[in-house]
Amino acid sequence: MHPIRHPRNVVVIGGAFVIVAALYALGAVPLGYNIEWAGVTMLAALGIAMSLMAYILIAGSSRD
């Protein structure tokens, strides 16, 4: 079985994007940048969408 085929690993896929969004939001102010909230929102939404898509692909695939 491929290691990514376990549904538990889907959380890691989506969580990576959400963590990047949090780092993007929290790291902007100390570095002297303005927070671009649209970018934070889109990265978080991308994480949710990637998790959902990966779970659907895993759940719908054959178990070979």
Report which of residues 6 and 23 the model is more confident about. 23
Under 8 Å between Cβ of 46 and 20? no
Q: What residues make up the domain containing 20? A: 3-60
Q: What is the pLDDT of residues 13-62, one digit of tens each?
A: 888 888 888 888 888 889 988 888 898 899 888 888 888 888 888 777 77
pTM score above 0.85: no
- pLDDT confidence band for 63 (50 / 70 / 90): low
Residues 6 or more apart whose CB falls under 8 angstroms from that of 28 comprise 34, 35, 36
Under 8 Å between Cβ of 44 and 17? yes
The CA-atom distances, in angstroms, between 13 and each of 35, 55, 60 are 24, 10, 18
Count how many domains the chain has: 1
Residues 6 or more apart whose CB falls under 8 angstroms from that of 44 comprise 17, 18, 21
Give the per-residue pLDDT at 21. Answer: 85
